[in-house]
Structure 1
Amino acid sequence: MSQTPSARCPFHAATDAEIAGAVADFDVFEGPFTVDPAAAMRLFRERRPIFFSPKLGYWVVSRYEDVKDVFRDTGAFSPANALEKVTPSSAEANAILASHDYAMNRTLVNEDEPAHMERRRALLHSFLPAELEKHAPMVRRLVARFVDRFVDRGEADLVDELLWEVPLTVALHFLGVPEDDMEVLRRYSIAHTVNTWGRPSPDQQVAVAEAVGNFWTYSGQVLDRMRLDPSGDGWMEYALRRQRELPDVVTDSYLHSMMMAGIVAAHETTAHATANALRLLLEDREAWDEICRDSALIPNAVEECLRLSGSIIAWRRVALKDAEIAGQPIAAGERILVVMTSANHDGRHFENPDMLDIRRDNTTDHLSFGYGAHQCLGKNLARMEMRILLEELSRRLPHMRLAEQRFDYLPTISFRGPDHLRVVWDPAGNPERADDRARTPRPLHLLGSPPRSSLARPVRVAAIEALTDDIRQITLVDPEGRDLPLWSAGAHIDLLAGGFQRKYSLCGDPADRKRYVVAVKREAAGRGGSLHIHGEVRVGDTIRILGPKNLFRLPDGSEPIVLVAGGIGITPIIAMADRLKSQGRRYEVHYCGRARAAMAYADRLERDHGAAAHVHASREGRRLDLAALAGAGKDMIVACGPDRMIDALQALCADAPDRLRFEHFSAVETLLDPSVEAPFEAELRDSGLTLTVPADRTLLQVLREVGIDLPSDCEEGLCGSCEVGVVDGEVDHRDMVLTAKERAENRRMMACCSRSRTGRIGLSL
């Protein structure tokens, strides 16, 4: 194998001693973590993704897949310590709490199975999309009323005058709690947060304990009044009615704890998340101006801000038994801090993870609401509020800007949002002064995942070059000359033109922010997309793209890599070869085709990669011996090409399937033909729901309609991101991800394309 020297990643320059020092000094209440949690976790994310913090007494988990695995595995990792005090209370503070009979116990966020899911099912109704939508008119009226108070003033502290008040009012309305004593409740809410997740001094603990005790008493009194007549529309009134039906499930102590926790959960996190989002958007004027022009971008902008700077930065678990996280042994009883804000900045899952990209089309994969059975029940209410708040402000005050200020944050282990957010504007420029129609809300997608059609990015075709008789290289640029988002080797974009949407791997220079390069092969027997691009797209045309995103990443590490490309599969592979060369890793690349004249980039491959490059043209007697290649050693093989090549490599690596990473460049046919499909029922065992998947809908589409968040990328059975666990029932597998063995095991399926063979299937959702 050839090896080319290159500059090393700066993280690799850190010595083991320096990393050990960073681990020893890690503290969520002091130092870099309090300034920028995601940035402070970068070194750990790259070099020590799981480590034990002696200052905290927790194992800290920082990578996306590892955080997701901890949330998913409720059998090994319990949420029982989610509301555990980070700082033990003093004797004096404990005495004050005892005087109030404070007995905060189990809630939805810190209860183990099966009790958690039984209660969650019993109380789910109010959080279904159809129920949440009933609150939208009230939220709109409320936001407009608060903005009316300062719109003509020219300055405001959005936290004090809008972002704290609105979510608290909505929370009380949703719960069915009277809107009296809002200022007192705000103080109680902050005290509860400090008491549970903060590090108050001994003197502060006494004041905090008094407020928390009063909060507990207040919650109980409100609940007692509700019991006299629980006929209202609030969630707690609904819970009281359910208590009459299920007294052993919905108990008095549980309702008291949920009343208090619900006020905090529905209020403080939404206030912080919206403040974080507005700060991000106003600091990135281009992004702010885009949502001011186009409200269809607001739902995805909300998701991107939640990913980049969500209000819940970390959450806690405790090991129920001896377990492992990514190979790291965790003993029963040990505590774990899963840092979602770090996971949301993991470049293994998100392209250009530290960049605000309001058109990012996998941003809803973020873990800011958790994942799995304990995913935040109120996530869609929070999203709806954030979308309405952004729409009102971007429409009525598009010219507002951040005032000069220092941003202060209350230090806690889990929550983050600025204490104040001061903005200024010239009231003379208020759009509604010139046109009263500016007071009318614009259309807005209030619930569910952002429509993918709204995320498409306009690009201009800057150049078209014939590489072979049937392959065209297309260069795309931003119409305004702006930088395009960063991408990494293996990434692709979706090209939208002429009513077609097709995926093409990026094969230019990732360092060139001004242009994207793709190569499109004309497929006469294809579905029409490539024919349209070859026949109709011209230099100067403006078309649209989705992405970039990467479902086909190079493996981490320093081990040698064997790259294999078949036909047009060279496009991601040559980008990977370029990347490996720049890293100085050992690699070789094999490019297979029928005839050299039909093999795009063959000359560039040999020119740029020298002895590491091997071109195999079968008609010229240079066919690649896949069996010899696969049997030559234990190096990782990364391949992209036609099905027959991938199938052959899978068979050759059957005894060590982890050696092979691959991508098909042909998609499954995802269009459903209702005349041949059969409807089926999907029983969601963790949610207590049974859904009907009709003949003309996919399981993924039906899950989205009822507000079930499920990551998805390609929606063509290629990427595996929409995988769900199968409890029972026989799956009609239609993806190109699972191996034959995995299909036979029948333990998982891809929701975007696979269906049930038997008319009913049980899923772990």
Structure 2
Amino acid sequence: MTETRFDGLFELNPQTVRCPYATYSRAREEAPVWVERLNAFVVTRYDDVVSVLRDAVTYSSAMASGPASVTPLARRMSDDPEASDTLRAHVERRLEISRSAVLLNADPPLHVRQRKLVNKGFTARRIATLEPEVHTISNDLIDTFLGDGRVDLVRQFAVKLPMTVIANILGVPESMMETFKWWSDSFTVGTGNLNLTNDELEDMFSAVDQFYDYFTGQVTDRRTRPRDDLLTDLVHARLDGEEPLTLNEILQMLVQFLVAGNETTTNLLAAVMHTLVTDPGLMARVRHDHTEIRALVEEVLRLESPVQGLFRTATTDVEIGGTVIPAGSLLWLVYGSANRDRSAYPAGDDLDLEGALSRQHLAFGKGEHFCLGAPLARMEARIGVETLLSKLADIRLDCAPHDVKYLPNFVLHGLKALPLTFHKVV
């Protein structure tokens, strides 16, 4: 396989980013392939992806977010002779904090210790207590545009619902919502984008630094004035025989909760509604029976995975699908491809609600690093869609289908906007 097969994806060609699945399908016909542009092997088959995810020893998560995420970019900028003194100070702080590998980037046994310490904040019981709040937020957001007859569902709902929920969980006041969103965008702007300019990097690291300043103060506050929020849980988490979380560990966890709580759930919500408005038969079916929403969410997670794939690093020479992978090599595990592999999912590229709740897709990963926030994302998507369908009728796309634009990102897969028209349910 030649590198040109992935050129459109990594160069962020809008049509390829919108629908990378033909690229993935062709890639699954052959073994994992080295791609110079990504500086990684691309792994697309279900069995190969799962074999890596199940082996946290042979495949390290140290660079799980990939070569264009914040820490690798900080390393690159620290060696750039043209970087300003301000930028250097920002990246040095990031590098210092990132020396504490955390959850997504941590390997056993460190990952096991951290997971034990934070599990309390993500239990089924804790998530269930949030359902009334998510209902209230969903209704309040819809009421802001209900009389307009049209909405950009991404900007006015899909962004704001999960952002408000995670902000409340972390104790961030409503007055800081715009700043909170800016921080979230800044942590993800490089992930899945290999083409950032120095000006974009300056803005990104400035936001990152402000995030650290704010939450360092909040951690200090929670040590003496605990509240009923996740940040307090992290600060005071204790287990027999385990060291408490350090400040740097907490800051890194907050970054991951921020991104997972905002970007990925936003993309999921928008994808579910886009799927419905482009399939009238499916819309009618789900309107008739809201219990189908759970299955629909699972199928959209499989078919339009908000995170198209994460990375691992081989700790020793290995062979995957007939390809020899040298020790130290980076691998991009393409969940978005594995989730459509007919060897694991007979429906392949087709949406199939039957049995969707029993199928185990890879949108949240698998094994030791399965996403902590998966129950929260599922609950927000279910309630958000249910509330939209309860209050909005005759929902239609307010642009030509080919004019729907996607984020310029090959890792985070989501809509930039979703313009809709509708009538109020009477």
Q: What is the TM-score of this pair, normalised by structure 1? A: 0.51
Q: Give 1:363 shift.
A: 6.4
Indicate the SS of the match to 2:169: helix
Indicate the SS of the match to 2:10: coil
User: Which range moved further: 363-372 or 311-320?
Assistant: 363-372
1:607-648, CA deviations, whole angstroms, 9 ceiling, x for partnerless residues? xxxxxxxxxxxxxxxxxxxxxxxxxxxxxxxxxxxxxxxxxx
Q: Contact conserved, 1:301 with 1:359, CA < 8 A, in 2?
A: no
Aligned with residue 128 of structure 1, among 123, 128, 131: 123
Letter in 2 for 1:412: N
Residue 290 of structure 1: aligned partner? 285
Q: Contact conserved, 2:34 with 2:40, CA < 8 A, in 1?
A: yes
- Residue 420 to residue 104, structure 1, CA distance change in 2 (3 Å): farther
Q: Contact conserved, 1:157 with 1:421, CA < 8 A, in 2?
A: yes
Residue 409 of structure 2: aligned partner? 412
Residue 70 of structure 1: aligned partner? 52
User: Which range moved further: 257-266 or 78-87?
Assistant: 78-87
Indicate the SS of the match to 2:394: coil
- Residue 24 to residue 259, structure 1, CA distance change in 2 (3 Å): closer
Indicate the SS of the match to 2:313: strand
User: Which range moved further: 333-342 or 364-373?
Assistant: 364-373
Quote the Cα distance in structure 2 between the aligned partners of 1:277 and 1:113: 35
Residue 33 of structure 2: aligned partner? 51
Would you identify which runs of 4 or more consecutive aligned residues in structure 1 move more than 4 Å? 243-247
Give the unaligned 5+ runs of structure 1: 1-18, 434-765
Q: What is the TM-score of this pair, normalised by structure 2? A: 0.90
Letter in 1 for 2:46: Y
Residue 210 of structure 2: aligned partner? 214
Quote the Cα distance in structure 2 between the aligned partners of 1:128 and 1:352: 32
Residue 220 of structure 2: aligned partner? 224
Letter in 2 for 1:41: Y
Indicate the SS of the match to 2:324: strand
Letter in 2 for 1:171: I
- Residue 161 to residue 23, structure 1, CA distance change in 2 (3 Å): closer
Quote the Cα distance in structure 2 between the aligned partners of 1:94 and 1:332: 36
- Residue 300 to residue 364, structure 1, CA distance change in 2 (3 Å): same
1:523-570, CA deviations, whole angstroms, 9 ceiling, x for partnerless residues? xxxxxxxxxxxxxxxxxxxxxxxxxxxxxxxxxxxxxxxxxxxxxxxx
Residue 421 of structure 2: aligned partner? 424
Indicate the SS of the match to 1:355: coil
Q: Which has the higher strand share?
A: 1
Q: Give 1:93 shift.
A: 6.7
Letter in 2 for 1:423: L
Letter in 1 for 2:62: A
Identical aligned residues as a percent: 28
Letter in 2 for 1:418: L
Q: Give 1:146 shift.
A: 0.7
Quote the Cα distance in structure 2 between the aligned partners of 1:398 and 1:330: 53
Letter in 1 for 2:412: F
Residue 267 of structure 1: aligned partner? 262
Q: Give 1:197 shift.
A: 4.0
Letter in 2 for 1:328: T
Letter in 1 for 2:38: L
Aligned with residue 89 of structure 2, among 98, 120, 140: 98
Quote the Cα distance in structure 2 between the aligned partners of 1:312 and 1:196: 10
Residue 335 of structure 1: aligned partner? 330
Quote the Cα distance in structure 2 between the aligned partners of 1:246 and 1:33: 50
Letter in 1 for 2:294: P
Q: Give 1:328 shift.
A: 2.0
Aligned with residue 189 of structure 1, among 184, 207, 212: 184
Q: Give 1:224 shift.
A: 2.2
Q: Contact conserved, 2:278 with 2:397, CA < 8 A, in 1?
A: yes
Q: Give 1:33 shift.
A: 3.7
Quote the Cα distance in structure 1 between the aligned partners of 2:12 and 2:378: 31
Aligned with residue 79 of structure 1, among 27, 50, 61: 61
Q: Contact conserved, 1:136 with 1:384, CA < 8 A, in 2?
A: yes
Letter in 2 for 1:213: D
Give the unaligned 5+ runs of structure 2: none
Residue 38 of structure 1: aligned partner? 21
**Alignment length (residue pairs):** 409
Q: Contact conserved, 1:157 with 1:422, CA < 8 A, in 2?
A: yes
Residue 302 of structure 2: aligned partner? 307
Q: Give 1:202 shift.
A: 2.3
Which of 1 and 2 has greater Rg?
1
Q: Which has the higher helix share?
A: 2
Q: Contact conserved, 1:76 with 1:321, CA < 8 A, in 2?
A: yes
Within the alignment, does 1:112 sit opposite 2:103 as a pair? Answer: no
Quote the Cα distance in structure 2 between the aligned partners of 1:29 and 1:253: 34
Quote the Cα distance in structure 2 between the aligned partners of 1:154 and 1:23: 43
1:464-522, CA deviations, whole angstroms, 9 ceiling, x for partnerless residues? xxxxxxxxxxxxxxxxxxxxxxxxxxxxxxxxxxxxxxxxxxxxxxxxxxxxxxxxxxx
Residue 146 of structure 1: aligned partner? 141
Quote the Cα distance in structure 2 between the aligned partners of 1:24 and 1:159: 28
Quote the Cα distance in structure 1 between the aligned partners of 2:66 and 2:224: 33
